[in-house]
Copies of this chain bind each other. A is one copy, B any other.
Amino acid sequence: MTIHDIAKALGIDSSTVSRALNDSDRVTKKTKDKILEKAKELGYQRNLLASNLRKNKTFTIGVIVPRISRHFFSSAIAGIEEMAFEKGYRVVICQSLEQLDREQNLIETLVANRVDGVIMSISMETLNYKHLDILKTNNIPILFFDRHCDIPGNSNVLLDDFEGGYLGTSHLISKGCNRIVHFSGPRNLKMYQNRFQGYITALEENNIPFDESLVLSSHLMEKDGALLAKKILSMPIQVDGVFSANDVAAIGAMQYLKSKGVLIPEDIAFAGFSNEPTSRVIEPSLTTIDQSGSQMGKLAMELLLKQVDNKQDSISPETIVLKPSLIARESSNKK
């Protein structure tokens, strides 16, 4: 069922049908009505493949995240999708599963599908950005989101991780902690470096000497948290607080410690990062740094669409750094 079928059925030309369906003022209302009615009667559905091909525009944005099922990403996607829908765009969502080769493959597919723009959060394996060149070649704007990427000329929507690290650590200090362990993530991710720097700065500002042995790196999974907690208990120093670079590891640690009879927050206070839904529910509820995925998603899409919609007069790239906020809960509520 095409515009030609409608045209034939009415004995008119397909160009008139096309214009009528696009509500052009080059078609009189009478024929417009006739055409619309016939279109409905025949169950016509515009073929966007043809339309997009001709117009060289797809109203589609590609989104690549490491893993859809991570709460932060799924809520970010929800925000991205919502804003896109509002602005008349569609979204193709892909997951890199933290693998560089998948990421590369996805980029190529998105280019082949002629998306109008790309929003992505790079994988942990991504150390260079050669595979992103074809986006530039094809003049497709890209926006990095959550995970920073320092190739110039692109927009970023990020969280101020330094500030988050600083907030979390300062909070613990203000509650009376001064031997604070930091759970950090893979060292190549800027995000974790920044949270770590925030931790250090908070210590310095409060004249607490930095102790290298209190920084424990891992992949920050729940089981890592439990392992690190075990390590804490075997330390010669009496640890009285933990600032974890994510909630998941903090929760793993808390559960291990609780099972060993350690009191939280009295013996060891906790603060995490990300505000996972679980953190509100665990007992004691986990103090954390909020990073509103949905809001970041909306912002990212809005910013990218500004570039997409004004491609010809090339809007200059912009980096938005969102301020995180501390959510103080019971896990740090030392009296």
Binding site for B on A (CB under 8 A): 43, 45-50, 52-53, 58, 67-69, 71, 74-75, 77-78, 81-82, 85, 90-95, 102, 108-109, 111-114, 134, 137-138, 251, 255, 277-278, 281-283, 294
Contact = CB atoms under 8 A, between A and B. Distances in A.
B114 A94 contact: no
A53 B45 contact: no
A78 B95 contact: yes
Contact of A138 (B45, B85, B93, B294): B45
A47, A95, A277: most-surrounded residue (chain B CB, <10 A): A277
Given A69-B74, A278-B281, A49 B53 contact: yes
B71 A78 contact: no
Contact of A78 (B69, B81, B102, B113): B69
Contacts of A294: 69
6 contacts: A45-B111, A46-B112, A48-B112, A68-B81, A90-B113, A282-B283
A12 B91 CA distance: 38
* Chain A, interface SS category: helix
Contacts of A47: 53, 112, 114
B68 A114 contact: no
A137 B77 contact: no
B81 A74 contact: no
Contacts of A58: 49
A243 to B, nearest CB: 20
A68, A134, A251: most-surrounded residue (chain B CB, <10 A): A68
A69 to B, nearest CB: 4
Given A49-B58, A81-B94, A277-B278, 12 more contacts: A43-B137, A45-B111, A45-B112, A47-B53, A48-B112, A68-B74, A69-B71, A90-B109, A92-B93, A255-B281, A282-B282, A282-B283
A50, A113, A251, A282: most-surrounded residue (chain B CB, <10 A): A113
A79 B102 CA distance: 15
